[in-house]
């Protein structure tokens, strides 16, 4: 029996990078899958890859209207929902606060927190009753940047720390019917997190930033000496989403390839050091 046999799973932000890898793994584990993605070109790629096997909807996690339309589509097609997996996110370019233009702070904060945090909260609110009917699960994406400095800039790191708190509080509020957990990835090969429009970086992908020497040093520093693909993280999300997980709620699993198990002295991005949490989900 596969982990997600007889499960209906929704992945928000499932059009590329981590979210797409999670969607592929959930399918491989037997789930019926729905994906929400904001970018039209990514929606086209999803349709080309999955066809009618997956319920694919274009929408914005910041929009209650879009989420409610997605809810109606899931109920019409599947009749239920067993797991909500949140994978959407925006990176902040690792910009130090002192170099952030004061007149951009409001828009930068709102953009990152609305996507990285509010989108998870709205999704949980819209789908809570469906999940409760089936003793379901919520799995949200934090980051090792929530645990250690220099895994991103201030705004990204703070937003991922907030996700940890969201996991804790929702696990308390939704118990015992819904299990709520998080995953805090570290390195991800081919991460597709984009930069914020508030800084004019909306066309810059995080995967465009690291260079080969950076990746080589990352592999050298990580005890497992491996930069995982999105699909490799997918099984962890699948397990937490599965009804086989009867043990855990309110936990955020740090998936860091062993980085936090050793002392790493980082000179930070200014001097070309390797931050512990960079290239995160």
- Domains of the chain, residue spans: 8-255
Query: Among 120, 147, 156, 233, which one carries the catalytic annotation?
Result: 156
Q: Which residue has the higher pLDDT, 27 or 212?
A: 27
Superfamily (CATH H level) for 8-255: NAD(P)-binding Rossmann-like Domain (3.40.50.720)
Out of 27-31, 117-121, 196-200, pick the least confident: 196-200
Residue 30 CA, chain-centre distance (Å), reads 21
SS3 265: coil
pLDDT at 274 over 70: no
Please list the alpha-helical segments (H only) found in the chain: 17-28, 40-50, 64-77, 105-113, 119-133, 154-174, 212-221, 230-241
- The rounded distance, in Å, linking the Cα atoms of 78 and 70 is 12
Residues 183-205 have pLDDT tens digits of 999 877 666 677 787 777 666 55
237 is catalytic: no
Residue 6 binned pLDDT confidence (cut-offs 50, 70, 90): very high
Q: Which residue has the higher pLDDT, 175 or 203?
A: 175
**pLDDT of res. 264:** 54
**pLDDT of res. 135:** 96
Phi, psi of 19 (to 5 degrees): -60, -40
Residues 82-109 have pLDDT tens digits of 999 999 999 988 889 999 999 999 999 9
Residue 162: C-alpha distances to residues 38, 118, 206 (Å):
22, 10, 21
- The rounded distance, in Å, linking the Cα atoms of 117 and 235 is 23
Tokens of 108: 């930068």
- 100 close to 196: Cβ distance less than 8 angstroms: no
């Amino acid at each position: 029996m596969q982990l997600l046999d007889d499960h209906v799973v929704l992945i928000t932000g499932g059009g590329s990078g981590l979210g797409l890898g999670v969607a592929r793994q959930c399918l491989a584990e037997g789930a019926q899958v729905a994906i929400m993605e904001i970018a039209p070109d990514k929606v086209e790629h999803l349709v080309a890859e999955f066809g009618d096997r997956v319920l694919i909807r274009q929408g914005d996690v910041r929009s209650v209207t879009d989420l409610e339309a997605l809810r109606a589509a899931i109920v019409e097609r599947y009749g239920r929902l067993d797991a909500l997996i949140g994978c959407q996110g925006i990176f902040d370019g690792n910009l130090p606060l002192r170099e952030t233009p004061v007149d951009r702070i409001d828009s930068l904060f709102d953009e990152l927190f609305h996507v990285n945090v509010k989108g998870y909260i709205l999704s949980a609110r819209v789908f809570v009753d469906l999940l409760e009917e089936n003793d379901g699960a919520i799995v949200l994406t934090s980051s090792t940047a929530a645990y250690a400095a220099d895994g991103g800039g201030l705004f990204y790191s703070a937003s991922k720390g907030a996700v940890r708190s969201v996991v804790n509080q929702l696990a308390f509020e939704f118990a015992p019917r819904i299990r709520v957990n998080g995953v805090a990835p570290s390195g991800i090969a081919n991460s597709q997190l984009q930069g914020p429009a508030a800084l004019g970086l909306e066309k810059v992908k995080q995967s465009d930033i690291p260079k080969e020497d950076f990746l080589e040093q990352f592999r050298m520093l990580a005890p497992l000496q491996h930069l995982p693909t999105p699909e490799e993280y997918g099984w962890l999300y699948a397990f937490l989403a599965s009804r086989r997980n009867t043990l855990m709620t309110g936990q955020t699993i740090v998936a860091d390839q062993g980085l936090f198990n050793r002392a790493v002295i980082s000179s930070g991005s200014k001097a070309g050091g390797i931050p512990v949490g960079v290239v995160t989900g």
